[in-house]
Structure 1
Amino acid sequence: MSRVQTNAPRGRAVPAQQNPPAVRASLATMERLLRTIEHRTYQRIDAVFDDWVDLLVLLLDHLPLHLADVVRTGHMAAWPEGTTPEQYATFARIQQRYGRFTEVAFQHFSQAAGTFFQATGTDWFDWLGALTMSLGLGGNRHGDYYTPWDVAQMMAQTQNISSLLHKRMLVALRHPENHRAPAVALTGLLFHPRADGQPTEPALDAAARDAFLLEYLIPTVLPFFEPVTVCDPACGSGVMLLAAASTVPHWARQLGMVQFYGMDLSHRAVQMSRAQLRAYGLNGYEARMFVALDEAGGWDAIRERLAQAAPVAPPPPLVAASPGFTVVPRQPQGHLAHPTLAQRAAAQAKPSLVFTQPQPTRNRRGTP
């Protein structure tokens, strides 16, 4: 599980995970910014961290809505159409907490968010889980330990999710109503190694194989494909889900062929998982972003519209979820360049994290 309850003796230090220098630098920057909020606003670090994660989720929820606003109205409002009462309430609660220090808090929240999104754009890692431990919000005192990233990766690799993915694709190709499958399968033989062990023809390089996958194989498979599901019933920061996603081909992640689900008793844990899964574009989120960008005409067209309309919020790539809260969003890449596939993946996107309330009738030992 991603969150582990422990009975380790108090005061015993947990060996620190040796992360690469770039990872340590990003974590140190985020910790410094959140600590600055703690010291300058006189709030507890756990409240500061929870508020920041809630704002990350709010921002990621709003990014596609902001782009839709640009298409519809030509400008980007601080609150896009489609904002829910719960989202308004979340922001109001955070504003009320910081009072006269709101501007200072949001300035540093914004910078920490920018660091987080830049970090998620470089490599796979459990940023929020590691940051939680660095801030002292886990460990012996709280009874929560977040699985180290290298351990999660090792466990994910033993599951061989890619093998199951390809088996499901083969089942879809063999579906009796999949009439295009025989022709596509025959064409696919061109990309297999020759019987004499020699490599494929030079013309059939990686680019050609990618084009075949995107234009023929995946569109043939998807109507009959049953998505592979990965579930963590104690998801914590989402580290096991992220590690599993890192072992899956990028086209399968982008197109929602592998779906990631989790649940947890901790509201903080669920919000951390939500933020990280969306930041990495899982469960159709990257497809939603691509469709929204495609309808808006891309970043260049968005900049032109915002320049002409005198926007009330900073223009892209600085997208605002609220006044003073800006980040550089992750831009969709790769196989989502196919609009039809992207629209299909976006339409099938669904909520993936569940907050499970503890049973109030049970005491701490779990007996009625």
Structure 2
Amino acid sequence: MGPRIAIDAMGGDAGPAPIVAGLARAHRKDKALAFTLFGDEAAIRTELAKHRGLADAVTVCHASDAIGAEEKPSQAIRRAKTTSMGLAINAVKDGHADAALSGGNTGALMAMAKLALRTMPGIDRPALAALLPTMEHDLVMLDLGANTECDAQNLVQFAVMGAAYSRSVLGREKPRVKLLNIGTEELKGTDELKEAAAMLREATYLPLKFDGFTEGDKLARGDIEVVVCDGFSGNVALKTAEGTARFVTDLLRRAFTSSLRSKAGFALSRPALNLLKVHLDPNNHNGAVFLGLNGLVVKSHGSANVKGVANAVAVAARMVRADITRRIGEDLDEFRARAFANGSGR
């Protein structure tokens, strides 16, 4: 029996069409997957009719309402029992699904997931983690916007969760972890960063290798497996990286269409440019995960295409099969036991 994933079919910017097509793509690659779709049943079944091979793997549950893109989390929480997003999360809470996936309002998704699933013992705040491309391999980065302000304990918890994610999804036995900072010197940064660094240096028993600080311009080098930061810094760094990727591709497109000679050069360099496009395409890295909850919730880009939705599904399936929640719990138990033994625990 493969993972069953609860899907907010109304969460994407374009409605259920790319979501159902993405599920069909994911199912072709992994026949063990099963899905429970929440949303407008008529609209969902219209899309399912286009993908006959998906029918046996899908259960459709009608939801009369959906969360708006601009809706406040406090408003969304009050409608959790009638919306496609809320019902998908509750399916995980009730044990009817192994993970939930939504491309909807991030703030509402986090608020409802935290209220329904609660945080794991030893976790003060859940974090949003995602994979970012680098020159060598993908890296895990968290937090990407769930917590704008974090203390040292939060950052250490993020490091533990990020390392567990890296081991589960990327197969890194002892991931190299760094804290995002304004410099690499030990004296730079906030008191929270310095304190978190000191705690991680002492936690040599954890299945990670803490390697100090890193700056934003070094993230793409590929010499780190996990980057830890507060949600404010992480979200700014992520959006800057995505904007820079779009800038580079747009600049190249403009340069290669500026003259006949440039167009000829484009024809010769197209294979290399296609590789660049694939590497920078956010759909190839779609699927951020809320870590630290008693259940798995995956956030897809609202604008994700068919490939992006399929990739987000693959992330959810890998997390379920790796039993990421149990792994995080074991690492946290070890950290807390050692910290209390040393007199530094809370």
Query: Do both share a fold (TM > 0.5)?
Result: no
Greater Rg over alpha carbons, structure: 1
Higher relative contact order (CA 8 A, sep 6+): 1
In proportion to residue count, which structure has more helix?
1
Give the TM-score band, short-chain normalised.
under 0.3
